[in-house]
Amino acid sequence: MQIPIKRLREVLPPAYATEGAAAADLRAAIDEPVTIAPGETALIPTGIAVAVPENYVALVFARSGLAIKQGLSMANGVGVIDSDYRGEIRVGVYNHGHAPYAVQPGERIAQMAIVPFVRAEFCETDELPPTARGEGGFGSTGKE
C-alpha cells in the first residue's frame, strides 16, 4: 500500500526500523532541542502530512524505548490521524519521568501504524444481547 506524504520541513520520511515492524518511525522536525520537564507536555512537529486512504486510520504511538527508558508517552495515549486530515502530524509528548528530557532534532519521537477500520452505525436499544460475562468489568475475570 502506498501512502502519499508531503514533507513540510527538511526531515526524513516515516520509515520502518526493521522488516517486521508494524509501525513506521516519525522524527522530530525541530531546529533545536526541545526540553520537556517532568510533568510537562510538548507538542513536537514531525514535518510531514499524509493522505491516509478511506477506511483506514493512521495511529500514532509512543516509541517503547522512550517510554520505558525516559518516561515519555503520548499525551493523549494514541494519536488518531483521520483519512480526511491533511495537516502536519504533531506529537503531544508527556514526560512521566523524574528528569527533564531533551528531544533532539531528527530524533525518532513516535511511531505510526496504518490500520483498516469499520465505521459503525450505532443503533439505540433498551436491551443488549446477553453474554456469559455480562456487566462484569475491572478485574471481574480474575488474575489467572
Tell me the pLDDT tens digit for each residue of 109-142.
Answer: 999 999 999 999 999 999 999 988 888 777 666 6
Every domain of the chain and the residues it spans? 5-116
Whole-number pLDDT of residue 141: 66
Contacts with 27 (C-beta within 8 Å, 6 or more apart), sequence order:
11, 12, 46, 47, 106, 107, 108, 109
Residue 7, CB-side half-sphere exposure with 13 Å CA sphere:
9
Grid coordinates representing 95 are 514526560
pLDDT of residue 108: 96
Which pLDDT value is given to residue 135? Answer: 82
Q: Could you report the per-residue pLDDT of 23-78, keeping only the tens digit for each?
A: 999 999 999 999 999 999 999 999 999 999 999 999 999 998 888 888 899 999 99
Contact 55, 1 (CB under 8 A): no
Nearest to 54 by CA among 2, 116, 112, 122: 116
Mean pLDDT value of segment 93-104: 96
CATH number of 5-116: 2.70.40.10
Statement: residue 143 has pLDDT above 80: no
CB distance 107 to 11 below 8 Å: no
Determine if residue 24 is left, alpha or beta; phi over 0 gives left, psi from -120 to 50 gives alpha, anything else beta.
Answer: beta
Tell me, what's the pLDDT at 33? 98
Buried/exposed code over 22-31 (b: 16+ C-beta within 10 A; e: otherwise) = ebbbbbbbbe
**Count of beta carbons in the 10 Å neighbourhood of residue 128:** 8
Structure confidence at residue 36 (pLDDT)? 97
